[in-house]
Amino acid sequence: MDNVTKAKINLFAVLRNIQDLCELDDVSKDIIKDEKTSVSFNVPDVGTASLIFKDGKCTFVPDQSKAQLKLWFNSPEHFNKLIDGEKTIPMFINIFKVGFLLNTFTKLADRLSYFLKPTEELLKDRKYFEINTILTAYTAFFAMCQIGNSDEVGKIVASRIVDGDIACGIPGGIQVTINVTNGVMSARLGGSENPRAVMEFADLDFAHDLLNGKTSSYKGLGEGKFLIKGKLSMLDQVSKLLTMVGHYLM
């Protein structure tokens, strides 16, 4: 496993979920309701990103290190340990904000782990099921792009995807747009006005089953629960990248 790719996934796919977690989960909303601060994560060979807490909301800003609390990690492995829940202490500036790291951020990280590591019992609760599925989908699509940009095999796969947008999501529900430009991949929330290819799930239930390996795309196509259209060669390569996500998030 490539630790740089894993750290990029942890920063730009897993950690970014805290923004959505604070919109979807009432407990997380309550945790940040009075929070007015920002924290940046700076990881060598990986990049930087900030979480900004203001007016009861959290915003994830990639490629930004401006923040009241700045955290520096020695290596990608050092950052991966933090995300994996191991005890590790990054270097930081602004000791007056370190309480945020030990309190608010730790609570949010635990809450995120709660939703991303489900049990069959927890999934019986519909609200939990919905949040788990949405966060899992976001993680998968954003992680896939990092694999396409960083993993050695992933870069070969990404180089075979023609330029353009790939629209992924559920009608009237979650929408993620994957953009490919000269073999470089990026993801953003929201739809695309002019996608070259479309990957559409009928509902959250099918999305959950497909993303967790409980069903297949072929079965979904036969049942009318999975729609693909447009330039299918793009979707073929995307499917290869999606199968690599589990290797990094297991």
Query: Domains plus CATH for the chain?
Result: 3-116 (3.30.1050.10), 143-249 (3.30.1050.10)
As a whole number of angstroms, the distance between CA 148 and CA 154 comes to: 4
Please report the pLDDT score of residue 96 as a whole number: 58
Please report the pLDDT score of residue 95 as a whole number: 62
Kindly report, residue by residue over 157-191, the tens digit of the pLDDT: 999 999 999 999 999 899 999 999 999 999 999 99
Please report the pLDDT score of residue 61 as a whole number: 95
Paired tokens of 44: 């060598």
Paired tokens of 124: 């019986």
Please report the pLDDT score of residue 86 as a whole number: 79
Backbone angles phi, psi at 200, to 5 degrees: -125, 130
Backbone angles phi, psi at 42, to 5 degrees: -120, 115
Residue 74 exposure: Cα atoms within 13 Å on the Cβ side: 7
Tens-of-pLDDT digits for all 250 residues of the chain? 889 999 999 999 999 999 999 999 999 999 999 999 999 999 999 999 999 999 999 999 998 888 888 999 999 999 999 888 777 777 877 665 667 777 888 899 999 999 999 999 999 999 999 999 999 999 999 999 999 999 999 999 999 999 999 999 999 899 999 999 999 999 999 999 999 999 999 999 999 999 888 888 888 899 999 999 999 999 999 999 999 998 898 7
Let me know: does 49 contact 11? Beta carbons within 8 Å. Answer: yes
Sign of dihedral through CA atoms 199, 205, 208, 211? Answer: negative
